[in-house]
Amino acid sequence: MLKKYGVLALALLFILVSLNITSPLVFADAATSLNSARDAMRLKDWSSANYEWRQVLLAVPDHLEAKVGLAQSLFNTSFYNESISILESIPEQKRPLVASLGLARTYTVNGDFLKSRNVYIEILKKDPYQANAFLELKALEPKLSAPDRKAIETVLLKIAQMAKTKGNQALEKAQYTDAARYYEVAAAQLKTVGLVNDYGIILLLAGQYNEAHQQFALLRTKNKMGFSEVNSNASIASLSVGKMAEAKQEILDAIQEAPTDQLKAELYNNMGFILEMSGKRTDAKFAYQHALDLDPRLLTARKNLAFVLQANQEYDAAIAQCQQILKNHPQNVELWNRLGFVYELQYKSRPALSAYKKAIQADPRNKDSYYNLALLYKKMNRPKDANDTLKTYMEISYAEIEAAPNKAAEPAPQGAAGEKNPLKYVVLFPSNPKVVSKLQ
């Protein structure tokens, strides 16, 4: 009997070997090496990564992640030819983007510029707006011969123009992240101050504050900050990353260069907002007032003045500013809610009640109005009215939840003030009006 089972075991072993079926122990070793390789890559311990990726490939020769990982670690240890050999062994149709970019970069370092160019072009055929491939192909241009360079310039110019069109289409839907992706490509090729400036604003609207700040820093490095409007935009980008001193200097530079009182009014409004975000509310108040002295019609400055007066507990003055705005803008829901809140701070329930109801009349779908009204009813000891109002509030919330997958616009970015869409309280200066058309 034992002899019979021994023969069966040998037969089974022969079948496993002939089918190249690896034992569970080998798979376990490969998994351990895979985790170790990932850790080494994260720590940039390239020599260890080289060893661990090789162990994975010994166990699983066609492991795609291991091939790409080994090629990357070999690149970082200057084994360029072996890195190229591994990446070339991956069929093009199965080669992931990171591998194609790695192959192009390795060709470049190795001096094979035409091969590098060809790989970048293949990437851009699949995705014309792949920013890394576009920018790296552009950087490769000076290393090519004049005829090859000219052919690339034609391709890049066409892609950049298409990217600008696609970016404008995204802006019309308030899809700022998509717009930023397209504008990155367009700005890199077309390089006008206006386009880079607009790209910086779009990054702000997308909530990519560090990237926005970098764009305006790039303009400053190239001595392209000679416009008040660009300096002002730069100050808002600096504010967004917490660089208060830089923001204040940039807005001062903008004001000193401003040619008209109307432009100065907008810039003093922005100065006020920077001061307010710096905790200097009294200074901010005077900046907003000066903006209105220069241009009494500047709605943004008047709203900001009302808000800062409320924060300073100057309630009567805040109410006066709100009422002045509402005379000309009776559908401004935000101001009706703000007015109601200021009345509440003065313990004036009836005027507050009227303000919240007018906010609801102006926009029956605005949740904030119902929430504020419900809380006021509760304070007034009117529980049934409070409950009915909260029910309406929740019904609107449920409708928003159900409609959420179909919404095209992105959520408003959060800013340094912790408020929704703080960019509404400053004046931005795009060269293309579409950039800010959906902001309000």
Bridge partners of 420, per DSSP, are 414
Q: What is the pLDDT averaged over residues 287-312?
A: 96
Exposed, middle or buried, 91 (CB in 10 Å: 0-12/13-18/19+)?
Answer: exposed
Q: Give the C-alpha separation, 199 to 201, whole Å.
A: 5
How buried is 402 (Cβ within 10 angstroms: 0-12 exposed, 13-18 middle, 19+ buried)? exposed
Query: Rounded mean pLDDT of the chain?
Result: 89
This prediction has a pTM of 0.80
Q: How far apart are CA 74 and CA 48, in angstroms?
A: 11
Residue 147 has pLDDT above 90, yes or no: no
Q: Which amino acid does the sequence have at 272? A: G
Q: Are 138 and 405 in contact (CB under 8 A)?
A: no
- The pLDDT value recorded for residue 404 is 63
Residues near 387 by beta carbon (within 8 Å), at least 6 away in sequence: 374
User: What pLDDT does 351 receive?
Assistant: 96
Q: 164: burial class by Cβ within 10 Å (0-12, 13-18, 19+)?
A: buried
Instruction: Answer whether residue 25 shows pLDDT above 90.
Output: no
Backbone angles phi, psi at 222, to 5 degrees: -95, 15
- Burial per residue of 242-276, b for 16 or more beta-carbon CB atoms within 10 angstroms, e otherwise: eebebbbebbebbbebbeeeebbbbbbbbbbbbbb
Residues paired with 414 in a beta bridge: 420
380: DSSP letter:
T
Domains of the chain: 24-155 (1.25.40.10), 260-399+422-440 (1.25.40.10)
Task: Give pLDDT, residue 221.
Answer: 85
Give the C-alpha separation, 319 to 186, whole Å. Answer: 46
Structure token digits, residue 422:
């703080």
Give yes or no for a contact between 84 and 107, defined as CB atoms under 8 angstroms apart.
yes
pLDDT at 429 over 50: yes
Q: What is the pLDDT of residues 303-360, one digit of tens each?
A: 999 999 999 999 999 999 999 999 999 999 999 999 999 999 999 999 999 999 999 9
